[in-house]
Amino acid sequence: MVPGYVHHTGHHCGSTAVRNLLAFHGCEISEEMAFGLGAGAAFFYVPLDGQSPSRFTNGRTARLEENFLELTGAPLRLRTDPDPDRCWQLARAGVDDGRPVLLLTDLYYLDHYGTSAHFPGHAVILAGYDSQNAWLSDTGFEELQSTRLEHLSQARHSKHPAFPLDGQMIDLAPTSGGGSPGVGAPRGRAAAVGGAGGNRARPMACSSPRWATSRACRRWSALPRRSAPGRRPCRTRSGAPVSSSK
């Protein structure tokens, strides 16, 4: 377990994870500021015929965490590795060195959600691990949540078409003398505001313009209620799956 890491709950996975990661390193900002500095306000709609759910919408940019690094210049690093074993070694090395690591996951594979719906890009903080489980700091949960290491690996390398993952992780690089330096306050930039209004965040390739989304929504009533055998339609809110009662 990372000594001194404190989990603070939040409303949205990405901004909560960024806030908690910075707080550990001595930079206290609000979740709302993390969301704004990541140019988070956006909207996209992705039709995914043959998937469950078959329609994917989100009220934030697809890459808030990456935007935050780019727009603020915070001394954090984003790394990826398509090989699951190498990727896990990178993540666990941070914990072994006493540094929490932000991971992007598909919550479908995380044990504390259950396999109810895919939601790739869900941000959590890796706060510790043992021989079988990882301990995750996750949004609205009051306590750290555990998930088996093999399931975390699946979550980090999900190839769901809405947002294929390659083990994206964000942490603070250790100093050459050992340990981690403090993080100064991120420098705000006007680009964060312009980015939210103009969708400066790199859009997902299958995002639809608002007018096309509106037109498509009118046809939702014709969609089958069960898009996969034995599975109810689901919607996700703030990174947490909520099963539809229909």
**What's the confidence (pLDDT) of residue 143?**
97
Give me the domains of the chain, ranges plus CATH numbers: 13-176+195-219 (3.90.70.10)
10-residue averages of pLDDT along the chain (246 residues): 97 96 95 93 82 78 91 93 97 97 97 88 97 97 98 97 94 67 58 50 46 64 55 45 35
Whole-number Å distance between alpha carbons of 246 and 234: 9
**What's the confidence (pLDDT) of residue 186?**
64
- Give the dihedral sign, CA 74/80/86/91: positive
For residue 246, the tally of other CB atoms under 10 A from its CB is 7
pTM, to two decimals: 0.80
Check if the beta carbon of residue 126 is closer than 8 Å to that of residue 171. no
**What's the confidence (pLDDT) of residue 85?**
97
User: In the chain, helix, strand, coil percent, each to 5?
Assistant: 30, 20, 50
**What's the confidence (pLDDT) of residue 200?**
43
Could you list the beta-strand ranges (E) of 61-132: 77-79, 101-106, 120-129
